[in-house]
Every structure is written in structure tokens, then in C-alpha cells.
Amino acid sequence: MIGIHTGGAWVAEALYQRLGLSAPLGTLNISFYRDDFTRIGMHPQVLPSNVTTSVEGRAIILVDDVLYTGRTIRAAINEIFDYGRPGSITLVSLIERDGRELPVQPDIVGLHMVLSASQHVKLVGPSPLALSVTGDPD
């Protein structure tokens, strides 16, 4: 199981504990893999990725907090392939919302939200985990 910083890592940690998995939990910081970092800038506190187990041929569970455009997932998959060629990747997302820009769909989703273009949903935490929706509904 690999969680995407930061919210996806929080969700992955909770799932990892509840499922009692034995392989080490990994985390990805996809900042250097984003296709928009030159436009939005780098986050001032870029944390390193932590994938200590070989992904070669393994079934990977990739966890994100909010799936929106699909660009974060594309970046995460690119980074995973830098560690090796996994046998499969199952995408788990706590929240899925409309507005996809890339053909990325979760295999497992906690909640589908329909929000206006001016609204944003964010997972805040890590303790306790809570959802925050901001912006005006159209």
C-alpha cells in the first residue's frame, strides 16, 4: 500500500492499520512529477517519498484523499514506475468528485461528491481526519 502525501498518506495509514497489512506502508510525494509545478510553483516543504519495498511485479494499492482532475494520480503512477514495474495498481480514493481532465477512475471510492467549479474539498488532519468544503455552490 502506498499513500500520496499528504491526505492520501493519512487515509492509507488508517486503512493499513485496519487491514493489518504486513508489507511496509509506502508514501509518495509527487511534487517533482506534477505537470503543473512550473505554473503553480513548488510547495515550500517538499517531503521525500518513502517506498522501501520493491514494487517489481507486486500488486500495489495506491491511496489518495481526493480524486479530482486525475493529474495527481498520473504523477503518482509515473513515480511508482521509477521504482519498478508493478504487477497491478488498484486506485483507492476517499473522495471522488466531478471534473476529470485525464481518464483516471478509482477502483474503490468512499464518497462521490458533486461540487461546483468554485468549490473545493480537502481532507484536513491528521488527527482527527475531517473533510472541509469551501467555496460557493453555483
pLDDT in tens, the chain (138 residues): 999 999 999 999 999 999 999 999 999 999 888 776 555 555 556 678 999 999 999 999 999 999 999 999 999 999 999 999 999 999 999 999 999 999 999 999 999 999 998 999 999 999 999 999 999 987
- Work out the end-to-end distance of the chain between its first and last CA atoms, rounded to an integer number of angstroms: 37
Is residue 80 within 8 Å of 28, Cβ to Cβ? yes
Q: 123 has which bridge partners?
A: 131
Residue ranges of domains in the chain, CATH in brackets: 2-134 (3.40.50.2020)
Q: Does residue 6 have a cis bond before it (omega within 30 degrees)? A: yes
Cell output for 12: 492509507
H or E element: which one contains 112?
strand 108-113
Is residue 123 within 8 Å of 90, Cβ to Cβ? no
**Sign of the alpha-carbon dihedral angle for 106, 67, 13, 62:** positive
Q: State the pTM of this model.
A: 0.91
